[in-house]
Amino acid sequence: MERFLSTEEAADLIGLVREIADGELAPRVDDFEARAQFPRELFRLLGRAGLLGLPFDVEHGGGGQPYEVYLQVLEELAGRWLAVAEGVSVHSLACYPTAVFGTETQRKRHLPDMLGGELLGAYCLSEPQSGSDAASLTTRAEPDGDGYSVHGTKAWITHAGKADFYNVFCRTGGPGTTGISCLLLDAGTPGLLPQAPERTMGLRSSTVAQIVLDGAHVPADRLLGEAGGGFKIAMSALDGGRLGIAACAVGLAQAALDYAVGYAKDREQFGRPILEFQGVGFMLADMATQISAARALYLSAARLRDAGRPHSAEAAKAKLFCTDTAMRVTTDAVQVLGGAGYVTDHPVERYMREAKVLQIFEGTNQIQRLVIARSL
């Protein structure tokens, strides 16, 4: 797949990412997925290569890349190992509150290690009883000495137990969106207790688990933004996160298409490659067209973001369309392979399992439709 990249620097970056994706990710993915093992060392390698802070300011250790380029990096990684690409996207989501809402002191103190890849981040918004209705969260931070004492349970936390820092959205005021604040907690905080990992349909080499907060003490200088301003921080962080998921979805779909095309060229029935049968060829043509449209949509939203324009609805459209596309394309890739698509000798069954969660996390696709509908 040829990319149109507007600078030589971006083209070099994509070249480097392809080398890492082919050399370091592709040979390991099957083994780590089979053992449900989190590849912590790979994240260190990505950090050293400068890939864990790409869309943030150079001044604080970031890569200074526009979203248009950063998202294409995610797409390249996702085509080799979705759990790693998703992890990079979640890490960016977790760096965003400090980078954008932190004071200069907080930024100087925390960002170099976050963006340089020394530390891995997690983003804690959802709770067992608060998912789509994010503003109903009940985790509470009570004033305690020089800071807060946090009680509650966070759910579906990617990197739980593996992360070094956690953005925890919790209630410091009354009910509703205006009573929520964002606190930055270190992994070693007493009372921050990662639970056993969930056993998931796909993305098994990622970790997702609950975090119980049992009186975790957080100093006052770990409040990001204003007290009561946490909901808006959470939502604006998700604008970028949803674009990250959109790009991951396109990378996954492209990998499924590439594999299905290769198979359809090799596999012969009735004396010729099955690609030559219109039933298969047209299916592949539809998959390729949907992927091109999905890529164009997320890039268009990214350009709005890079230009500093409002883009919440465009990010929601990209998340919705790209992840629905990934589900369709990966399902069709299994169909093109027939029985071979249903066994683990080929990667398409994994792609199909992985696509499902993309329609669910960082806001279900029904929530994306709600965001879009409200914008009309």
Residues that bind ligand COS (CB under 6 A): 125-126, 132-135, 156, 177, 231-232, 235-236, 238-239, 312, 361-363, 367, 370-371
The DSSP element (H or E) to which 355 belongs, if any, is helix 348-358
Encoded tokens for 261 = 């095309």
Strands 180-186 and 140-144: unpaired
CB of 1 to ligand COS, least distance (A): 28
Q: Where are the alpha helices (DSSP H) in 170-277?
A: 230-266
Q: At its nearest, how many Å lie between ligand COS and the CB of residue 371?
A: 5
| Minimum CB–partner distance for residue 199 and ligand COS (Å) | 18
What residue is closest to ligand COS based on CB?
363
Task: Select which of 75, 76, 349, 362 is catalytic.
Answer: 362
Q: Quick one: 243 or 261, whose CB is closer to ligand COS?
A: 243
* Nearest to ligand COS of 218, 316 (CB atom): 316
Is 127 one of the annotated active-site residues of the chain? no
Decide whether 18 or 232 has the Cβ nearer to ligand COS.
232
Identity of the residue, 131 or 347, whose beta carbon is nearer to ligand COS in the bound complex: 131
Q: How far is the CB of 274 from ligand COS (least distance, A)?
A: 39
* Residue 101 amino acid letter: F
3-state secondary structure of 1: coil
Other Cβ atoms closer than 10 A to 261: 18
> What whole-number distance in Å separates Cα of residue 28 and Cα of residue 86?
16
**Coarse DSSP helix, strand, coil percentages of the chain, rounded to the nearest 5 percent:** 55, 15, 30
Kindly state the smallest distance separating residue 281's Cβ from ligand COS, in Å: 38
The neighbour count for residue 268, using CB atoms within 10 Å, is 11
Q: Which of 175, 186, 191 is nearest to 130 (CA)?
A: 175
- Considering the complex, state which of residue 298 and residue 361 has its C-beta at the smaller distance from ligand COS: 361
Tell me the sheet residues that pair with 194: 211
Q: One-letter amino acid identity for 87?
A: G
Q: Would you name the residues annotated as active-site residues?
A: 362
